[in-house]
Structure 1
Amino acid sequence: MKPRFSLLAFLVTATAYPTRKSLGFGPHHPTARYVTRPDNNCTLAFTAEADPLDVARAFIHSLTESDYYIRNDSYTDENTRITHVYARQLFHGLEVADGNINLNIRHGRVLSFGDSFCRGLALPLDAYPSTSLASFCADFAAQSFVLSRGSQSVLSERSKAMKDWFSVHCARPLAAVQQAAMADMNNDVSNPRRAALYFMIAAHPDPLVVDQLVREFRTIIANMTTVHEYITIGLDTHQSTTLSDLPGTVNPIKVRMVYIQIPTGNTTALLATWRLEVEMAHNWYEAYVSVHDPSAIVSVIDWASDSSAPSHGGYLNALEAKLDSPRRYTEAGAYKVWRWGINDPESGERTVESASYDPVASPLGWHAIPRRSNPDGSPDWIGKGAGDGAEYLNFTTTWGNNVFAHENWKGSNEWISNYRPEGGENLGFTFEYEADGDYKNYVDFSITQLFYTSNMLHDLYYRYGFDERAGNFQQDNFNRGGRGNDSIIASVQDGDGFNNAYFAAGPDGQHGRCRMHLWNTATPYRDASLDAGIVIHELTHGLSSRLTGGPDNAGCLPWGESAGMGEGWSDFLATTIRSTEDYHDYATGSWVSNHPGGIRKYPYSKDISVNPSMYSTIDDPEVSRKHDIGEVWAEILWVVSQKMIEKHGYSPTLFPPAPMEDSSIPLGDFYKQSHIKGGPLVPKHGNTLMVQLAILGMKLQPCRPSFIQARDAIIHADQILTGGENACILWAGFSSRGLASQNSSSMARPV
């Protein structure tokens, strides 16, 4: 079948998303590959102690003669001792933005690698791109026509959603861009201001603003300010531009010229584009616009991911039992919350929990930041009035090294001075919650719950490998690697819409933004911050985004199967965290949506009669939204995890044991001995091991992975951790849902 663009997860109703619109599309890479059993002949001369970067250079030289540079976000995993090396292609000194090689190296050998380097040449500068927003929309329209002819029974609601989506994302933007282009007589291809304005015309959700942008096109161009700077890429210095004063942005736009790959038959060629980093009120875009024709938008990635509106399926959600909290390492602080493992207000009672922070993941606890990393304008800290010169600042509100949590009733992008509850020097966050009361009356509790859940998740993922080197979200990285100053900015009761929640994750060193909305699905409204599954789903986008393709590449889960898997990992891990030894099926978002079936088509179940999702399901034209694709991936992972639990049993806690005085980690009842001497720590139970395999798989897999490549990465992760002890179980689980070794999707979705 002809490769095509993916139909993304934006078939939503206006009532669910009154202000949010998201573009996402791009070209297919027919030559991209992921190899788990590479030929290491070129590395045989290296000893086990060889520099992994030297090994990487030798291996890349055996693959290609292209120029490249090794990115600074390459790192060595503390547990597996695998060095993850990320190389970016260069052509005539310019970056190939989607030309990536990732190598997983240990003991002088390449264990696996992904490769999307271009083997073709550059297109002429005046070449018109064969892929663009216009061609994406034409492809969407053609598929919608096929669907409408063959699926008469679903015409009403589904086809209306498609038409609404097409109008908002295709028809109106293309018409506006064309109107602006007719009046644009400027042929200067050296100035990126036109590209930025054309993109904003296509991307802005408000038709009135778009109309203004079109009418005042020349004036806006003239009023935009440009600042040039020079940055080092590889061994070369390149010009980077910052554009300010473009209506619709909340921060200046970062621009530089790069190549992007365009499919030409069975290979790709290079097109010169402007790479735009555009932060808007509800989106954070990485966009590519043709240098020759700035009205041609070639590829768009939205770093912000949201939760979909409810799709009622009529399935019941069993109430989960209380799950034991992780080991309490300190008694400092008290939070009256639904403790870790209790998903929502219908799943258990609130209790007063001590601050169960993990000393490895959060060495200062949850309410302290080194002075050197504390943002200007922060709340007061203990002792500030005395003019102390303390190195570490201790706060008494929901402000800490991992998370800044606060209200955002105005729905603005301001956050430093937003309201936060006060816990006093004893950190007592024991606020009341009245389910039948006005949401503003319990905002202190809502902020506390979001702060608690977010910190617990930070500490959990840290212990499974999402640490500073891997690009996690922390204000200060304690000299452990990676880039700091990127703690999560988390807002509750966000006033920019209803029935949604979303997370925006840029490259390492830039704050993650988490916005939790009210849901008008009940009276009084329901607060998404109180549904741990929704919170964990959103925050897990930061995990999958930073681990796939490396911490500095936020665009590796952009569309198609890869975007769907971003949603799937979020659902799977959120469901795993709430699960108990007494097996249940689980619906996502049932409480916040006020519907027992939740916001997915099916509950997650090991019973195929309850959830019939198969790998082939994504070939259905109706399964075009990234959340639809994600449901399939999450269900496959859920089925695989249940087989792992059947073999290895179930751990009542996902949290590893605390380190001993000598900093070593005891095996206890959590880990088992590695299959190799001095090997990595390996969780011994099925649920904990599956979490570890999923997270390590993200590190191993290539940028823009397919289902098959992600499956292979998980199986490869098991080979690394256990010597392949679970290969048969994993293959059986994947195959039971159609993801056998010989299968591939007929949709040829972009990877």
Structure 2
Amino acid sequence: MKSTFTPTVRVLATAALLAVPGLAMAQSAALLDQARNALQARTSALGLKKTDVSDPAITSSFTDDYNGLTHVYLRQRYQGVEIYNAVADVHLNAAGQVASLHSTFVANAAAQARPATPGLTAEQAVAAAARALNLAAPQNLRVTKAGTAAAGTEFSTGGISLEPIPVKLMYLPMPTGELRLVWDVTIYPRDARNYWSVRVDASSGALLDQHDLVIREPFTMTALTAPLALASTPTPAAPTAARPTAGNSYNVWPITVESPNHGARQVVTDPADPAVSPYGWHDVDGKPGADSLRTAGNNVYAYEDRNNRNNSTTELWRGGYAPKGGANQIFDAAFNSAVTAAPTANLDAAIINLFYWSNLMHDVMARKGFTEASGNFQAFNYSGQGRGNDAVFAEAQDGIIASPPDLNNANFATPADGRNPRMQMYLWDRTVALASVTAPASLAGPIDATEAAFTPKLSKTGPISGNLVLVNDGTTAPTLGCSPLTNAAAVNGNIALIDRGTCNFTVKIQQAQVAGAKMAVIVNNNPEQAPYTFGAATDTAGMRIPAIMVSTADGARFKTALAAGTTVSLNVTGTTTYYRDGDFDNGIIAHEYGHGISNRLTGGAATATCLRNAEQMGEGWSDFFGLWMTTKPTDVGTTGRGIGTYASFESITGPGIRPTRYSTDMAINPSTYNYVGKTVGNTAYTASHPIGYVWASALWDLNWALIAKYGYNADLRGTTGGNNIALQLVIDGLKLQPCAPGFIDGRNAILKADSVNNKAANSAIIWQVFARRGMGFGASQGSSGSLTDQTVSFALPAVLSSRQQLSEKLLELYPNPANSQVVVRTQVSSAAPVQVELVSLLGQRVSVQQVSAARLQQEGALINTADVAGGVYIVRLTTSEGTITKKVVVQH
């Protein structure tokens, strides 16, 4: 048994074309020359000068065996100095022809660049970067890898970084167009909460640009309101009474089971894929035979980091506590599903599940093209391609006893190929009100309730008991309580019951308070959403009574009883805080790992900073990976899927931590490209998660459209089945898109991937899916650095919408079955207004209207079915491109 090792990475040299000496390449010098020549041949078309493309550095390249594509990534250089994020990607097919090419090279660099002579030394640049980041001054800094300024130098950690500190002279494009000479410095602070890539002026040391390689999944409704009753050191969980006996077994929530709420825990034996993890998940030296008894191996090292201090990098298999599987590698631990269970009681089970799912992500995605050559995460690369030495450090229950504690989050840090990524999984908290109904007997018992963020705390006011009185503000919606209450006398001295909606929470509470209520109870108006900590914590002015929220269902029970003249009494004694462990939310684990995939594949594995533009879709790819990995054979696309429902204490039908659930049903998930940069409902689509939600909605539609054509393959490592084809297209699209991509770049890359992989067999489906979400023919992203200059289009290319007999798949009807109305949408273009008809099966026209094609593409048209007899009807659209018909069922 070996506890540590130094991986030996075989290097295939390719002469002086490489930007980083010793970088493993599988391509011949001739192929690399072809890529460079292809870029130079397109100088004029790219708006560049010959000097701009005369000396590019090849940062990475690899060939995909399954489609024969060779991907070459180049970085622009001027005077031998690389230009930050000036990346070209050239993709050659098996015949050596250019399949795709993009460039973010800077035009006329010679006129924009300053002389390549720095005023500061590399060591001074490290000190300047540390000052700018408010870190301590580096101590005992020494060179660990020598190199020229342009090639880069690596320094020791200086007592401020988890990793050695690389420093490299570069040019930074400025908003004015100038190319500023900078030192590019990467510092990984010892608390691992950030991983800073910064650029300081090469003469003054002033901070000019910074980017955090740590990508987070925040979800915080309120600050922690109860002290942490958690042990400071881990207590390994006791094993279950009947342990599995087969070797190499893991007791986990297996692949496609999203969380303990979604399915049963099972023992899985020999889950490693021998094609991509040939010596199993516990190999650490690239030779046959397991080398680790712990949750550690070539792809992943999973361990606890509850104090956020187990981040030392003095040796490879380090960190906090990790459970052992014994000589037979049996990983089993008890699991307490009670919401009151202390997180430490489930620590072993959490680490085992985290290890299992992180390895699953490695194996499945390697099968789909996230390989050693393309920059995946392995300590030892069996093929000799890629850099190796970068297994994932997966940290369970991270930072919960740190100060301040880390909660309601998860993150993934992705450095360039050859450096370890880190996944930090946190606990999620929910503070609930201890509320119960004391009368009538038919309703008596505890209820689910949460405290407001802005009203006096129950911990200060003490227990409150009283009778519920449904408010009446004298308006057409009297129970919303947005105006002075007309039944103030009844409310006085009692507990006001108020429906959520229309006005904000502070107005409702103020009206109840003026009427003399001792407490307010808000009834949630979203039946799919559990009560949550509501209101803004800053809105405390004038608040004198506490307030809680109850579910839609409980509120309905209360209102029914009150309407019948029954007295409903409530007792609220205080609050308590429960914790859920993100290590059991497998969708979140897959999501976080997905950030590593999208960052490594976009712009090549040697560039970790291509996804920092405004319109980048990183969160969307990660959501898609999480949804894809947890799709069961019995699932259907129209069913809503939330993200993080387990971690956020919701049922499996809840929306989770996204604006809506993901669904192909536009009535559930209506998002389109038109949302980006705007505020729709209560969501501002200007941050990375809402933007990613729009992109993932289109990818999710694509997945189900391909399943409809090819079926679902339960073998997620396979190549057949619509689900596997969809994931393959998404992975290859990441490789084929440019650095700093926008939505249309992403769409085009998927179309290109289908052209290469499938001879464009699915181009019609891809166009239909993206047109449906506003990324159709004629759509433009403008600058991928802006969220306000896109052109939205719901149109299909003419070649797909010119047939006289058009497929019913081009027509959307929802809801179907319909009750009072049905929404009609299509992406088919029409030179004339579209005639929309509802026709009986006997051919009788029930209704007809003329609607513009633009309206049908964007918001759709309404057909009123309230006065139509129940039964089956035909919706018929007549466009200049042809006729579409589809059945609709009317039910009353």
Q: Same fold (TM over 0.5)?
A: yes
Please state how far the C-alpha of 1:289 moved relative to its aligned partner.
Answer: 2.1
User: Which residues in structure 2 correspond to 1:199-598 (within 5 Å)?
Assistant: 199-204=129-134, 220=137, 225=141, 227=143, 230-231=146-147, 238=151, 240=153, 242=155, 245=158, 247=160, 249-264=161-176, 268-280=177-189, 281-297=192-208, 299-309=209-219, 332-370=247-285, 392=289, 394-412=291-309, 413-414=311-312, 416-436=318-338, 437-495=341-399, 496=402, 497-521=406-430, 523-562=577-616, 565-580=617-632, 581-583=634-636, 584-595=639-650, 596-598=654-656
User: Which residues in structure 2 correspond to 1:25-44 (within 5 Å)?
Assistant: none
After TM superposition, the score normalised by the length of structure 2 is 0.59
Please state how far the C-alpha of 1:71 moved relative to its aligned partner.
Answer: 2.4
Structure 1 counterpart of 2:659, from 597, 601, 625: 601
3-state SS of the aligned residue for 1:363?
coil
1:227/1:430 Cα in 2 relative to 1: closer, same or farther (>3 Å)? Answer: closer
Q: What is the alpha-carbon distance in structure 2 between the residues aligned to residue 239 and residue 480 of structure 1?
A: 24
Q: Is the 8 A contact 1:125 1:292 kept in 2?
A: no
* Residues 626-685 of structure 1 deviation map (CA, whole Å, 9 limit, x = unaligned): 1111111111111222222222222223122xxxxxxxxxxxxxxxxxxxxxxxxxx332
Q: Is the 8 A contact 1:619 1:745 kept in 2?
A: no
Q: What is the alpha-carbon distance in structure 2 between the residues aligned to residue 594 and residue 89 of structure 1?
A: 48
Please state how far the C-alpha of 1:438 moved relative to its aligned partner.
Answer: 1.5
Please state how far the C-alpha of 1:625 moved relative to its aligned partner.
Answer: 1.2
Q: What is the alpha-carbon distance in structure 2 between the residues aligned to residue 551 and residue 698 of structure 1?
A: 11
3-state SS of the aligned residue for 2:430?
coil
Q: What is the alpha-carbon distance in structure 2 between the residues aligned to residue 230 and residue 198 of structure 1?
A: 20
Please state how far the C-alpha of 1:251 moved relative to its aligned partner.
Answer: 3.7
2:707 maps to 1:645 = yes
Please state how far the C-alpha of 1:227 moved relative to its aligned partner.
Answer: 3.5
* Residues 515-552 of structure 1 deviation map (CA, whole Å, 9 limit, x = unaligned): 11111126431110100001000011111111111111
Letter in 2 for 1:732: Q
Please state how far the C-alpha of 1:310 moved relative to its aligned partner.
Answer: 5.4
2:153 maps to 1:100 = no
Letter in 2 for 1:116: T
After TM superposition, the score normalised by the length of structure 1 is 0.70
Please state how far the C-alpha of 1:558 moved relative to its aligned partner.
Answer: 1.7
Please state how far the C-alpha of 1:408 moved relative to its aligned partner.
Answer: 1.0
* Residues 81-113 of structure 1 deviation map (CA, whole Å, 9 limit, x = unaligned): 111011121101111122211101011200001
User: Which residues in structure 2 correspond to 1:65-80 (within 5 Å)?
Assistant: 65=50, 66-71=53-58, 73-80=60-67
Q: Is the 8 A contact 1:303 1:505 kept in 2?
A: yes
Give the number of equivalent residue pairs: 559
Q: What is the alpha-carbon distance in structure 1 between the residues aligned to residue 615 and residue 419 of structure 2?
A: 26
3-state SS of the aligned residue for 1:494?
coil
2:45 maps to 1:58 = no
Which structure 1 residue ranges, 5 or more long, are not aligned? 1-48, 128-186, 214-219, 313-329, 374-389, 657-682
Q: Is the 8 A contact 1:311 1:600 kept in 2?
A: no
Q: What is the alpha-carbon distance in structure 2 between the residues aligned to residue 271 and residue 525 of structure 1?
A: 48
1:61/1:582 Cα in 2 relative to 1: closer, same or farther (>3 Å)? Answer: closer
Q: Is the 8 A contact 2:390 2:417 kept in 1?
A: yes
Residue equivalent to 1:180: none
Higher helix share: 1
3-state SS of the aligned residue for 2:375?
coil
Structure 2 counterpart of 1:700, from 723, 736, 739: 736
Letter in 2 for 1:612: P
Residue equivalent to 1:158: none
Q: Is the 8 A contact 2:394 2:424 kept in 1?
A: yes
2:695 maps to 1:633 = yes
3-state SS of the aligned residue for 1:586?
coil
Q: Is the 8 A contact 1:68 1:89 kept in 2?
A: yes
2:581 maps to 1:684 = no
Q: Is the 8 A contact 1:409 1:494 kept in 2?
A: yes
1:606/1:91 Cα in 2 relative to 1: closer, same or farther (>3 Å)? Answer: same
Q: What is the alpha-carbon distance in structure 1 between the residues aligned to residue 42 and residue 631 of structure 2?
A: 44
Which structure 2 residue ranges, 5 or more long, are not aligned? 1-27, 44-49, 223-244, 432-576, 788-892
3-state SS of the aligned residue for 2:284?
strand
1:123/1:51 Cα in 2 relative to 1: closer, same or farther (>3 Å)? Answer: closer
Please state how far the C-alpha of 1:125 moved relative to its aligned partner.
Answer: 7.6
Q: Is the 8 A contact 1:498 1:517 kept in 2?
A: yes
Residue equivalent to 1:189: 119
Structure 2 counterpart of 1:715, from 751, 773, 787: 751
3-state SS of the aligned residue for 2:263?
coil
Give 4+ residue runs of structure 1 displaced > 6 Å after superposition.
123-127
Q: What is the alpha-carbon distance in structure 2 between the residues aligned to residue 253 and residue 699 of structure 1?
A: 28
Q: What is the alpha-carbon distance in structure 2 between the residues aligned to residue 366 and residue 548 of structure 1?
A: 27
1:252/1:53 Cα in 2 relative to 1: closer, same or farther (>3 Å)? Answer: closer
Q: Which moved more, 1:393-402 or 1:423-432?
A: 393-402
Residue equivalent to 1:166: none
Instruction: Give the percent of matched residue pairs that are identical in Structure 1 and Structure 2.
Output: 33
Q: Is the 8 A contact 2:40 2:54 kept in 1?
A: no
2:101 maps to 1:113 = yes
Please state how far the C-alpha of 1:124 moved relative to its aligned partner.
Answer: 7.4
Q: What is the alpha-carbon distance in structure 2 between the residues aligned to residue 411 and residue 124 of structure 1?
A: 44
3-state SS of the aligned residue for 1:511?
coil
2:672 maps to 1:614 = yes
Q: What is the alpha-carbon distance in structure 1 between the residues aligned to residue 145 and residue 266 of structure 2?
A: 53
